[in-house]
Structure 1
């Protein structure tokens, strides 16, 4: 079995490889984007916190059993200090409904660290989806917990 293609050398490259793997339902390429550490974290919209490769892989395999995930990152906001990069994105997710294709929007945070193998994801946290595209800047005061 050939090794999955690893993302090239920047956090943007790793992010592009992650979303491409989602869109193709390719679990091996998707997992190649994650760091090797056991404490990697993933939170799917409305789901529990998943820690570790096995838990994360299992949930993505279940998602891919129903087909690929047509999510594309938009409105990227970056913070990069050279060793850690945090990307806040709005995911545009294509959803098939009885009325035809629709879009949902998910606000997600992706965290990457520079490892000996290059930039790898250590956290993906996605909010529950909305049919309404979120504004770039909140027009009202946010409600804090």
Structure 2
């Protein structure tokens, strides 16, 4: 992730080694980075051997064209008429709300108080679970732990990651590759501070908004306004959207 407001960036060029034999590889673009030190990264994905030359530069963040898309980021929405399982929070929450309203209408305030307390506990548990998932995301980010990052994302084609200054990267595989590319010249661990953290949820979908401050060693802070969307799948919260927009300090 590029650090807006910081004093550095890098440029990555994708070069098809077969070009020297007259062959063409369509994936050629540039990407910015928070470190000017040289590096080389090899990839054999997509049946096209690529060599990434990393050096100093002043270009803004730009991910490979194959990873960029103008399509809107969407959280998966299941609008089926199937009955939710007994463990579904949205079903439990809606049931408790209906029971609370019924108890109030019947002027059974003792029962209403009990239902209200149960509803509050359910909501606090969900809030804590979403915040814990957000914390795991930033732990992986701070350490540059790609394996942990891979385990935190929903493995679906409609997940979306928007790095600062870039269009959305769609699909699990491309999102993971984008983190690899953005991290390739970072010095870990990173300094990351979160401010104005707010969590919202309903049923099996929740999202966290915050201001994210990131700094590598010897560099100035960069700030992004972030929205992280999580979905609960088989009892576990996975991130499905990460959107970071640069803000002025």
- TM-score, normalised via structure 2 length: 0.45
Q: Which residue of 1 aligns with 2:174?
A: 55
Q: Tell me how far apart the structure 2 counterparts of residues 20 and 72 of structure 1 sit (CA, whole Å).
A: 11
Q: Tell me how far apart the structure 1 counterparts of residues 235 and 203 of structure 2 sit (CA, whole Å).
A: 15
- Of 10, 17, 24 in structure 1, the residue corresponding to residue 143 of structure 2 is 24
Q: Tell me how far apart the structure 1 counterparts of residues 215 and 181 of structure 2 sit (CA, whole Å).
A: 18
Asked whether the equivalents of residues 19 and 72 of structure 1 are also in contact (C-alpha less than 8 Å), the reply is no
Equivalence map 1:30-49=2 (5 Å): 30-49=149-168
Asked whether the equivalents of residues 154 and 172 of structure 2 are also in contact (C-alpha less than 8 Å), the reply is no
Structure 2 stretches lacking a partner, 5+ long: 1-127
Asked whether the equivalents of residues 153 and 238 of structure 2 are also in contact (C-alpha less than 8 Å), the reply is yes
Asked whether the equivalents of residues 106 and 126 of structure 1 are also in contact (C-alpha less than 8 Å), the reply is yes
1:79-128 CA distance string (max 9 Å, x none): 111311111110011145xxx44222110100001111500101000002
- TM-score, normalised via structure 1 length: 0.75
Instruction: Report the Cα offset of residue 48 of structure 1.
Output: 1.4
Query: SS of 1:37's equivalent?
Result: coil
- Is 1:88 equivalent to 2:206 in the alignment? no
- Is 1:15 equivalent to 2:134 in the alignment? yes
**Closer, same or farther in 2 for the Cα pair 1:123/1:93, shift >3 Å?**
same
Q: Work out which of the two has the higher radius of gyration on C-alpha atoms and give 1 or 2.
A: 2
Instruction: Report the Cα offset of residue 72 of structure 1.
Output: 3.2
1:31-76 CA distance string (max 9 Å, x none): 2111122210000001111001111111111122112454332211
Quote the RMSD (CA, aligned, Å).
Answer: 1.8
- Is 1:65 equivalent to 2:184 in the alignment? yes
Q: Tell me how far apart the structure 2 counterparts of residues 59 and 85 of structure 1 sit (CA, whole Å).
A: 24
Asked whether the equivalents of residues 45 and 129 of structure 1 are also in contact (C-alpha less than 8 Å), the reply is no
The alignment covers a number of residue pairs equal to 120
Could you say which structure has the higher helix fraction? 2
